[in-house]
Amino acid sequence: MPLAKQIVLTYEGLEKLEKELEHLKTVGRKEIAEKIKQALSFGDLSENSEYDEAKNEQAQMETRIVKIEKMLKNAKVIDEEDVSTDVVSLGSKVTILDIQMQEEIEYIIVGSAEANPMELKISDESPVGSALIGKKVGDVVEATVPAGTLEFKIIKISK
């Protein structure tokens, strides 16, 4: 059996997954059980779309629970004390200048499990994240993205 991939998380990401898991196991399971119970009261299961939908939702939730448990079991938490401000690494807050747009953007480099571009948390495995890893303030980096090649200058690295 292959070894599970190590999941790298910040403390914030770890807490978020633990809270989601707790919610799914308590509130989520109760809600689904209630939906199934209600759907069963409608009778004939062969044409009971509410029952089918509730059972499908239950399966999806149980799959998510197993996935989170596996992620937590294989999690390596980034200690903020170990995050360098000399070079970009996992856990770094990086302020970059998009050279073409002349616009500053601040990203947090995280593991793929907690990446969320809407919160400006990008994965170290993403095109921009991997281009920034190991670089220093003042470095100009190129990242190849689906829309083409982007150029960034690293302005600041913080925790």
Kindly report, residue by residue over 26-56, the tens digit of the pLDDT. Answer: 999 999 999 999 888 877 777 788 888 999 9
> Could you tell me if residue 115 is inside a domain?
yes
Domain that includes residue 93, residue range: 82-158
Q: Do 112 and 99 sit in the same domain of this protein?
A: yes
- Which residue stretches of 4-158 are H helix? 11-23, 29-40, 49-73, 127-132
* pLDDT for res 106: 96
Q: Give the residue-averaged pLDDT of 56-81.
A: 91
Tell whether 64 and 102 lie within a shared domain: no
Same domain, 69 and 12: yes
Query: Same structural domain for residues 51 and 108?
Result: no
CB 7 within 8 A of CB 90: no
Q: Is the pTM of this model over 0.75?
A: no
Predicted pLDDT at 39: 87
Same domain, 94 and 71: no
